[in-house]
Structure 1
Amino acid sequence: MVENKSKFHLEIVSPEGVIFQDQVQEAVIPAYDGEITVLPNHTPLLSRLKEGEIIIKYEKEELLIAITGGFLEINNNNVYISSDYAVKAKDIEIAKAQQAKKRAEELLREKAENVDLTLIEKDLQRSILELKVAEKIRKKQRIIQ
């Protein structure tokens, strides 16, 4: 394999499988202590990730991926991200996310005894994140058009 010094390999995985895998020029990643901008030949690094969005620049395009935290490993022009939940912005179903948000808010208000409030809060946070990332994509598309 010919090494491309202007790109690095990025792989994002979740329990659902490989979410993204390609050669990219840049990635902005939500690390626990602040955003990390990764460029080719980045120094080796291990980091915990927080909930947020990954911004990937490749092939003259920009891709957004929502994650709910996880871990980052950078080594030898290879970047690996493992997250318990990750979704490409273009794959977010806005109506479904809005419905999940509404349902979680109702369950939290009711404080039902037979539900795990921690899981409901996580569902709410994930829905809010999905809606935020999807809205960013919609705004960018409106500007481009």
Structure 2
Amino acid sequence: MNFLKLRISSPEKLVFEESELLSVTIPTANGEITILPGHIPLVSKVIHGEIVARKRDKEHSLITTEGFLKLSAAGEIEILSDYAERSEDIEIAKVERAKKLAEETMREKKSESEFILAEAELRKTLLELKIAQKRRSKVKGI
């Protein structure tokens, strides 16, 4: 059986690297796509959302902001993202503090550029909270 290999990097670090994957679901500018072994080579823009990488016995969940993906004929997926994080590494208390700060900055609206940056941070924190809570629900079996 053929498998996929996934590598996700951000400017700060290598976020995720795994092989022997059965499928990878990625949010793209053209909609969510699921890549299976044997998929044709592809280059696409990645958008805010959840990446799900599935193995036989495990599912990995990650969040991503904007970036790009490249899929080779050999089934190797490379994602370069402005920001990416494994769902299990998301610290809810830290994210909630960042969310409050972004909301306060948006309310104060000191400048247009600060508002735009705060809005992007708010979108990211809301996504992090959603994915982290979803993962914790699965772990608890709810």
Match of 1:90 among 80, 84, 88: 88
Counterpart-to-counterpart distance in 1, 2:66 and 2:59: 20
Structure 1's consecutive aligned runs of 4 or more residues displaced over 4 angstroms after TM superposition are none
- Per-residue CA shift, 1:105-137, capped at 9, x if unaligned? 111111124972211111111111110110110
Q: Which residue of 1 aligns with 2:26?
A: 29
State the identity as a percent.
41
After TM superposition, list the pairs within 5 Å mapping 1:64-75 onto structure 2: 64-75=61-72
- Per-residue CA shift, 1:41-88, capped at 9, x if unaligned? 111111111100000112511111000121111112111111000000
How many residue pairs are counted as aligned between the two chains?
140
SS in 2 for 1:60: coil
Matched, 1:53 2:50: yes
SS in 2 for 1:20: strand
Matched, 1:6 2:14: no
Would you tell me which structure has more strand in proportion to its own residues? 1
Deviates more, 1:72-81 or 1:106-115: 106-115
| Equivalent position amino acid for 2:121 in 1 | D
Match of 1:121 among 116, 119, 125: 119
SS in 2 for 1:116: helix
Counterpart-to-counterpart distance in 2, 1:113 and 1:41: 49
